[in-house]
Amino acid sequence: MGERLPMRQRSQLVLTEQNSGGTSTASSTPLVASSDEASTTPRHDPYHDPDPRPELVEQCIRPRHCSLAEGDAREWMHRRLSHLGHVFNERGATYMACVWFELSFAARPDAVAELISAINMRMKLGQWALVEALYRRIVRMDLSKEERDAAYRKLGEATSLKSAQLSARGRLRDSSSSTSPASDGTGASACAASPGRLVMQPQTPLSASHSKAAPGASSAASSALDARFEGLSAAEAELGLVLDAPALVTSASSLTPKQIERLLPLVRGCAFAANKACELEAAQHWFEASYALSCSDCL
């Protein structure tokens, strides 16, 4: 397979290739800031907006770009990606679990179960208004009775959590007018509610502690950043989660080295094809998955 680059160099290569689209214009403009913007200003996080844009809802519910031809290889890739989604979710690595599920759905757009799983990961990430909008679309789809019942239940959860979040923000605004700008009077940082700051609620990839939290946990607990990511920008927090992914592929998945060796070029090919097609959000996820596979100790 040739000489392997050290992990740091390989991660830099993947991130460089991910941004190789240049200044090409895309028919669907990505709804997040570019890496250049994120390096100089706080990145606005549309996924936690209390009123998500219709374009974002559409972007999250449609299958991501997948260039692999229909056939056995694409179905095989779909199953492996879904397996990784379940593994990462069980270990509390919610951000990457969402990535795996979205890519599995991209490989097989009729697999509504994977789409629902991806939306459930967004629920864990605190994207409650977006999840509510997505489930309002989901319940109008052709679903089994079990899927429909689950979708309505999750819709109710998202609506309740969104309402609680909006109430908490209102109380924070009211209290901030009479207390220090750095605190809401209860020890919570006022900057957490700043519209320019991303509150990711990332899960610790190698710990299941966050995944055991009840969906209805208090807003103060559910909005707290993992201690490892406290004070980091959104991009830095995301990168930390992605960099942890190879260790989990190695330690927790049941994929064999031969399966990973087969899966990696399929995923990487989809990444470059999505980038070429200016489907930049899809390209990012395919490249994140490629990194997780290429840097695991199984190869």
Nearest to 82 by CA among 280, 287, 254: 254
Residue environment code for 276-292, b if the CB has 16+ CB neighbours within 10 A, otherwise e = ebbbbbbbbbbbbbbbb
- Residue-wise pLDDT for 48-76, tens only, equals 888 999 999 999 999 999 999 999 999 99
The pLDDT tens digits of the residues spanning 104-134 come to 999 999 999 999 999 999 999 999 999 999 9
* 272-294: pLDDT as tens digits: 999 999 999 999 999 999 999 99
CA distance 157 to 86: 21
Give residue limits of the domains in the chain.
43-186+202-208+217-294
Per-residue model confidence (pLDDT) at position 56? 94
DSSP secondary structure code for residue 43 in this structure: P
| Per-residue confidence (pLDDT) for residue 80, from 0 to 100 | 97
- Rounded to an integer, the average pLDDT of 137-149 is 92
Distances from the Cα of 124 to the Cα of 3, 92, 99, 274, angstroms: 39, 10, 13, 27
Is residue 124 within 8 Å of 44, Cβ to Cβ? Answer: no
16 has pLDDT over 50 = no
Mean pLDDT of the chain: 74
Examine the pLDDT at 222 and tell me if it is beyond 70: no
User: Phi and psi at residue 57, in whole multiples of 5°?
Assistant: -60, -45
Cα gap 183→269, rounded to integer Å: 48
- What does the pLDDT look like over 248-269, one tens digit per residue? 898 888 899 999 999 999 999 9
8 Å CB contact between 154 and 135:
yes
pLDDT at residue 44 in the model: 62
pTM > 0.75: no
Helix, strand and coil content of the chain, in percent to the nearest 5, comes to 60, 0, 40
3 state DSSP class of 106: helix
Where do runs of H (alpha helix) occur along 140-196? 145-176
Tokens standing for residue 285:
């996820």
- Looking at the chain, the whole-number percentage of residues with pLDDT higher than 70 is 65
Position 2 pLDDT exceeds 80:
no
User: Residue 175: how many CB atoms within 10 A of its CB?
Assistant: 15
- Would you place residue 232 in the very low, low, confident or very high pLDDT band (cuts 50, 70, 90)? low
Structure confidence at residue 180 as a pLDDT band (50, 70, 90):
low
pLDDT for residue 33:
39
Closest CA to 98 of 110, 111, 81: 81
At residue 194, the pLDDT reads 33
pLDDT band at 84 (very low <50, low <70, confident <90, very high): very high
* Predicted local confidence at residue 234, as pLDDT: 63
Can you count the helices (H) and strands (E) in the chain? 12, 0
pLDDT higher than threshold 60 for residue 157: yes
CA distance 135 to 247: 32
pLDDT tier, 239 (very low <50, low <70, confident <90, very high otherwise): confident
Tell me the three state secondary structure of residue 286. Answer: helix
**The residue type at 203:** Q
Q: Pull the structure tokens for residue 17.
A: 């290739």
Query: What was the pLDDT predicted at 215?
Result: 40
